[in-house]
Structure 1
């Protein structure tokens, strides 16, 4: 019997002036381990008059992970950080009790044609750390562990697994791996994973137990022991997961929390604009009016 429990197809979603492919949350699988949200951005060619502009917006109870394949994003936050995110770098912001940030096309690219392609990810915080002080970290590509084994190039973007440790400061047991190969290769790594696991195909494809899977599909395993599978030539996949939390997580807009009451507090905070503002920014994303219900 196949160990693949669920196949999730990317679903189009509008994040303002930009369309993305949403992978998590999904109605049949809200989270994979602590991973609560994943958007695939692009690949999109933006013309000289098109830019990514996500004005200041708040987060609580999570860490954001931005990982680009192409293009650049300027990150600004309420802690005063202003950092350009480039391909291969890891941008990690922990909201904790609350933080505001904006994401925009850098100034030097705003009047030229450009590509934008990457992943936006939310990792929920353990209940005991949901109200921790906000933090921000940024890592260059050469700081991220990488190695090759059996014809496959590995990169450990976050977490620890296989005796390798990413410098990204995560707050619960997890892993986020990139696997690349130019030739068809068999992958046997399931015995070393833990918690819940999922596999996302960015390019190429995989074959597992007589089935072929293609790009823009997220495969959720029944348990962390992913069965042996074959990566097709010129494939790029991501394997991620970790230990799930004992408590349910509620998601409303950009807020993640273990109680509905905390989300109601955050909504009121944003309505009152009591979060620390992003220096130099004057506009903001309003609290959604179309729904007052917390998703669960």
Structure 2
């Protein structure tokens, strides 16, 4: 199952351009009726900040009785972030956590010295046609926290900070950005956000982070005068070069 980072990553292709340090094109896999795309690790970009694995699952439409079954498997030294746009997952792990995650909420599992977990489409969702669309990513824990006790936290959609401006909506999933702080306990400086842009709207990248990247989930965006379609990850140069614009 591609959502288990112990498996072969299937590294993506990548192309360099002037305004962007790395452009990553994930490779797709068909896993029993739904598609997974892995953006990280890439051949020339193993990580973006602490983010070491980055997978998109779906969008997929599943028939009645169908769903995803990620059977129990171990993690160590990582933090696992699950965020959905459609569908749900029933998460269980060896800390005793038993939680269903819905779109817009956050599941944050810290493996530390070791945890085993499973993820399945809920029985309620399987009772009829259901959808799956989401991102799961893994953060490498700093060496000082690699062996901490495993833990799990669920943060509902209503608890995640929202930043809104003209044509822009940002839900902060992890870390700090734009003067807001997300509720999940972090072990390194980072930010992770779900951004929705109306046509012609603009959003500057947050300051104070050496690594900054964008993954396009739907639609397209323009960066430094160039258009990029869904399914692309861009990692920006640091410090920004003269004349380059986000």
- Whether 2:134 is the aligned partner of 1:118: answer yes
Structure 2: segments with no counterpart, 5+ residues: 1-16
The CA RMSD measured in Å over matched residues stands at 1.9
After TM superposition, the structure 1 stretch with the greater mean CA deviation from structure 2, 11-20 or 206-215, is: 11-20
TM-score, normalising length: structure 1: 0.73
2:217 counterpart SS class: strand
> What displacement does 1:17 show?
7.3
Aligned partners of 1:95, 1:186: CA distance in 2, in Å?
A: 37
**In 2, Cα distance between equivalents of 1:133 and 1:209:** 44
Deviation digits for residues 217-255 of structure 1 (CA, Å, limit 9, x no counterpart): 0011122659534xxxxxxxxxxxxxxxxxxxxxxxxxx
State the distance in 1 between where 2:108 and 2:41 align.
20
**Could you list the runs of 5+ residues in structure 1 that have no partner in the other structure?**
230-296
- The answer to whether structure 1 residue 208 and structure 2 residue 212 are counterparts is no
Answer yes or no: is the 8 Å Cα contact 1:17–1:52 preserved in 2.
no
Report if the CA contact (8 A) 1:3-1:223 is conserved. Answer: no
CA–CA distance in 2 between the matches of 1:121 and 1:204? Answer: 21
Partner of 2:245: 228
Q: How does 1:1-296 map to 2 (within 5 A)?
A: 2-13=18-29, 18-189=34-205, 192-223=207-238, 225=240, 227-229=244-246
- Partners of 2:239 and 2:61 lie apart in 1 by 36
**Larger relative contact order (CA 8 Å, sep ≥ 6):** 1
Structure 2 Cα separation of the partners of residues 18 and 130 of structure 1: 33
**Given that residues 193 and 225 in structure 1 are in contact (C-alpha distance below 8 angstroms), is that contact kept between their aligned partners in structure 2?**
no
Q: Decide whether aligned partners of structure 1 residues 182 and 209 sit closer, same or farther in structure 2, where only a CA change above 3 A counts.
A: closer
Bigger-Rg structure (1/2):
1
Deviations 1:2-51 (A, max 9, x none): 33011111211356775311111111111011000010010100112421
Q: Distance in 2 between matches of 1:46 and 1:180?
A: 26
* SS in structure 2 at match of 1:186: coil
Q: Which moved more, 1:125-134 or 1:161-170?
A: 161-170
1:69 to 1:188, Cα distance in 2 relative to 1, 3 A: same
Call closer, same or farther: CA 1:134–1:73 in 2, change over 3 Å.
Answer: same
Question: Which residue is equivalent to 2:13?
Answer: none
Cα offset, 1:194, TM superposition:
1.1
